Amino acid sequence: MPTYELAFLLKNMTKPELAVSMKRAAQEIFNRGGFIRKMENLGISKETPYKISSHGQVHRTASYFAVKFDIPPSTLDDLKDSYQRDVDIVRYRIYKVEEPPKFECTLHEENLPPAYRKDVQQLIAESEKNKPKQWDAKSGLDYYPFQR
């Protein structure tokens, strides 16, 4: 199952009501066969950058949350639909989390002088391969005949 991140805003409520709304949002993930890796509270009752209209109300403050979870991709549309209908969720976005690329340490190679580095030697070999042919002085002519 791929990993997703859900960033959403809940309308301005008391802490017990926030807990119930968060539990309901988490239960939607569990009902669709997913599991939660991490839940973060990014700030209770912060001002929104602009006024947001949702479910017939205008919101100027909201509580910010982020949830990292795994779920089958086939159930993602159902999850979005249930969050769209939830009256406590002002705005939500679901992002797919990509695994960061893995790099191996090449510090010992990068500390070598440029002439001894493997990538520099490959560049030199490639440039030698693509080098244009030089005029051969053994042609009997003392000049290059095709020069203007």
Question: Mean pLDDT, 10 residues at a time, over the chain (148 residues)?
Answer: 92 92 94 94 88 92 94 94 94 92 83 88 88 65 66
**pLDDT at residue 105, rounded to an integer:** 80
Phi, psi of 2 (to 5 degrees): -75, 160
For the record, the structure tokens of 119 come out as: 């990538």
pTM of the model: 0.66
**pLDDT at residue 138, rounded to an integer:** 67
Element housing 131 (H / E): none
**pLDDT at residue 40, rounded to an integer:** 93
Name all domains of the chain by residue range, CATH numbers in brackets: 3-96 (3.30.70.60)
Strand order in the sheet with 3-11: 35-54, 57-70, 3-11, 89-96
Angstrom distance (rounded) from CA 87 to CA 97: 26
